[in-house]
Chain A
Amino acid sequence: MSAREPAEPARPPRVLVVDDEPQIVRALKVVLREAGFEAVPAETGSEALDLAAVRPPDAAIVDLVLPDLDGIALTRTLREWSEMPILVLSAVGEEEQKVRALEAGADDYITKPFGARELVARLNAALRRAARGEEEPRIVVDGLEIDLAARVVRRDGEPVHLTPIEFDLLRVLVRNRGRLMTHRKLLAEVWGAEYVDDIQPLRTHIARLRAKIEPDDDAGAGGVGGPRLIVTDPGVGYRFSE
């Protein structure tokens, strides 16, 4: 995997940290600086919007519970004008909240309490993804070669036959590598907006796709290690590993 190359190595990436728990913000500020970021703290949603408007940050970490507008609403507002990666902090532990945040435009979520390392790793992954852009016609991951332009997929050099639906599904997942794609988002992109509630067929297609593309040692049928390429986030969606 290619390491992220900041466009201007002199300037550390600015990360907006929106959380009304002052202690968490204080700790994260130090943690992020140690990891090579500059943290911009905000206690409320409106303060976050002001700060982001004055100097657009490179990424945002948003707590779901804020005193004024909640994290979901803040995510939606930020998304209206910014493509920056947004990570949602959730203490609620409820899948529904996470799904709503992801559908509002968040790239990923992380559940409190989390390790600082995990947060930094997720943040880096999201920034890499943002830097990578859309144009990546050919991807090789874990012995799987995907040529999106030619619509050809090879596992260990052998061509893999995919149905059109399976290929579209794979393409959406691969284009958003590392990003958690909710069921609804996948359904909307592959089948169309009117199918967003039919989760069962999605599960079936994911299972078939896994059987064809996952490495044989721990097959898509759910071997000991579970699927490696298409990872399930239970109750939320799927993510194509980086």
Chain B
Amino acid sequence: MGVPSPLGFLLSAEPPPRRVGAIVALVAVALSTLIVYPLAHVAPVVSLSVVYVPAVLIVSVAWGAWLGLATAVLSAAALNFFHLPPVRHFTLRHSGDWVALGTFLVVSVVASSVAEVTRARTRDAVERRQEADLAAEMARLLLRADNLAEALPTAAARVAQTLDLSSAAIEMDTVEGDDRRIAFPLREGSNRLGTLLVGAGTSEAKLRRLQERIVPALEALLSAALEREALLGGVVETASLRRADAVKTALLRAVSHDLRSPLTAISAAGEAVGSPAISPEERAEMAAVIQEEAKRLARLVDNLLDLSRLEAGAAEPRSEWTSVEELIRAAVSEVGGGPDAFSLSIDRELPPVSVDPVQMERAFVNVLENARRHSGGHPVSVRARAVRRLAGAPATLSPEARDVGAAPRARTSGDRVIVRVVDRGPGIPPAQLERVFEPFYRAGTVTSGHRGSGLGLAIARGFTEANAGSLHVESLPGQGATFVFELPLEASSAQVVPDEPSTGTAQTAEIPVSSTGGRELPT
């Protein structure tokens, strides 16, 4: 940057103040007048008007033609007053001197005008170059930005820097100017793209420059940047649609398998029931097959609906104070499987939790069913107890809740009810610990019984998290798996539940006795 001339400073985009110009003019004229004294001995005084020309030119170039013209008049007067006879008078002895002074003035005026034009052109060129640089910089900032909104402050700062503005901002909204800021609307055709805001103190010339040259460039760039962002958004959307499509395909395949198996059993058993030759025992058995498989189908349909609700974010829990023990018992009876399928150990004084009972029962049913399926005929143990954080003590879990090969996760801290469902199945390899909660994922091998749909655990976790709880699994291969529910006990629960004196237990200090407290210990 900069003007290639020793006097380049004179051509700066913004001229120095006029006051400075007037002083410079006075000094230059005085200097020129002094220089004429020694020269007057070697040359005719009237021809020495040329000595004043540099002063006129310098002032014209730096401060414009009018101050230049004033300098010329001042120069003529000084030459007349100090050097042309009669000296110390504004009169002239020789009429030829009038001609000489007139010629000097004419030459000065022409020179001033030419200088002024040059000045304007130079300033223009400098500004255009700055603007070209600015445009290139803005294009880089706006068109290559990953996030347009984040690139805007930097772009605005560059505008402010280039035009030497006190402040500048680019907003994507329609913003009205106020007493502190002047607003330039940014449009593409009739579309409002955003607003360029500059400080209220910005000079008229800069405002004109902004309006005429910066704003149009900014509009074009912003429009291109927005279009690019929309296209990128389209790409992202396409990718996510493709993912959703893959999920849908997996769903269709899983559903096709899970629907067909029970249908096959029902169809075959139905045919067998119709046969006249079968024994009453077999007939009863076939009827049981039909009923069980129909139940399985119904459960699959429930699961699919639950899953679609969860995926659509429509599983808004309807929380009410609920007894965890009742939830677990209801889930156990729904899963069925005989009296020895589950062994329950539920803390006598479990406080109620604020959850959606329907959703949490589904979550328990799914986890219990999964555990029973994988337990290889061994009873599944279900243990529930409250964990309280004593005042000032750090949040700790009961010792057995310590991770046993559990994947990292966000742990609920504070007071909570912990329900552990322990099966004695083959366990889950560490790599699959989190995957078992993915829809349609079926881990490892199954020793007996029919496979699940691969939906149950995903739904259980979805519902538990929707109710502010967490569900994770701990397992060492070959040693069974433990699914751990953690449901927060809200601070308010102590107030909501009628306060009754509590005896407390090893794990539970200061637990209010719940409505289910005092029940018989489970089998």
Name the residue on A nearest B278 (C-beta): A30
A116 adjacent to B256 (CB under 8 Å)? no
Stretch at the interface among B14-22, B305-313, B399-407, B443-451: B443-451
A233 within 8 A of B: no
A20 within 8 A of B: yes
Which residues of A (111-129) have their CB < 8 Å from a CB of B? 111-117, 119
Give the secondary structure class of B's interface.
helix
Q: Which residues of A contact B253 (CB under 8 A)?
A: 92
Q: Are A67 and B445 also in contact (CB < 8 A) when A22-B450, A34-B278, A114-B264 are? A: yes
A65 within 8 A of B: yes
**In whole angstroms, what is the CA distance A20 to B278 when docked?**
24
Stretch at the interface among B105-113, B265-273, B494-502: B265-273
B275 adjacent to A112 (CB under 8 Å)? no
A116 adjacent to B268 (CB under 8 Å)? yes
Residue among A24, A34, A91 with most chain B CB within 10 A? A24
Q: Are A115 and B267 also in contact (CB < 8 A) when A20-B446, A91-B260 are? A: yes
* CB of A83 to closest CB in B, whole Å: 27
Q: Are A112 and B446 also in contact (CB < 8 A) when A27-B289, A34-B277 are? A: no
Q: Which residues of B contact A43 (CB under 8 A)?
A: 448
**In whole angstroms, what is the CA distance A93 to B252 when docked?**
11
Q: Which of A22, A23, A30, A65 contacts B257 (CB 8 A)?
A: A65
**In whole angstroms, what is the CA distance A68 to B263 when docked?**
23
Name the residue on A nearest B269 (C-beta): A27
Chain A: interface residue total (CB-CB under 8 A) = 27
* CB of B273 to closest CB in A, whole Å: 9
Q: How large is the interface on B (under 10, 10 to 19, 20 to 34, 35 or more residues)?
A: 20 to 34
B272 adjacent to A31 (CB under 8 Å)? yes
Which residues of B (269-308) have their CB < 8 Å from a CB of A? 269, 271-272, 275, 277-278, 282, 285-286, 289, 292-293
**In whole angstroms, what is the CA distance A213 to B263 when docked?**
40
Q: Which residues of B contact A34 (CB under 8 A)?
A: 272, 275, 277-278
Q: Which of A23, A67, A115 contacts B269 (CB 8 A)?
A: A23
Q: Which residues of A contact B122 (CB under 8 A)?
A: none
**What sequence of 0s and 1s flags, for each residue 175-198 of chain A, a beta carbon within 8 Å of any chain B beta carbon?**
000000000000000000000000
**In whole angstroms, what is the CA distance A161 to B268 when docked?**
47
A116 adjacent to B272 (CB under 8 Å)? yes
**What sequence of 0s and 1s flags, for each residue 8-41 of chain A, a beta carbon within 8 Å of any chain B beta carbon?**
0000000000001111101110110010000000
* CB of B371 to closest CB in A, whole Å: 18
Q: Which residues of B contact A23 (CB under 8 A)?
A: 262, 265, 269, 289, 292-293, 450
A26 adjacent to B289 (CB under 8 Å)? yes
Q: Are A26 and B256 also in contact (CB < 8 A) when A91-B261, A112-B264 are? A: no
**In whole angstroms, what is the CA distance A111 to B257 when docked?**
11
Name the residue on B nearest A28 (C-beta): B268
Q: Which residues of A contact B264 (CB under 8 A)?
A: 21, 24, 89, 91, 112-114
Q: Which residues of A contact B261 (CB under 8 A)?
A: 21, 24, 91, 112
* CB of A199 to closest CB in B, whole Å: 25
* CB of B369 to closest CB in A, whole Å: 15
**In whole angstroms, what is the CA distance A214 to B267 when docked?**
35
Residue among B253, B269, B277, B293 with most chain A CB within 10 A? B269
* CB of A97 to closest CB in B, whole Å: 11
B268 adjacent to A24 (CB under 8 Å)? yes
* CB of A172 to closest CB in B, whole Å: 32
* CB of B432 to closest CB in A, whole Å: 16
Q: Which residues of A contact B278 (CB under 8 A)?
A: 30, 34
Q: Which residues of B contact A21 (CB under 8 A)?
A: 261, 264-265, 450
* CB of B240 to closest CB in A, whole Å: 26
* CB of A12 to closest CB in B, whole Å: 14
Name the residue on A nearest B253 (C-beta): A92
7 contacts between A and B (CB under 8 A): A20-B448, A24-B264, A30-B269, A30-B275, A91-B257, A111-B260, A116-B271
9 smallest CB-CB distances across A and B, nearest first, come from A27-B268, A113-B263, A27-B269, A30-B272, A116-B271, A23-B265, A112-B260, A113-B264, A112-B264
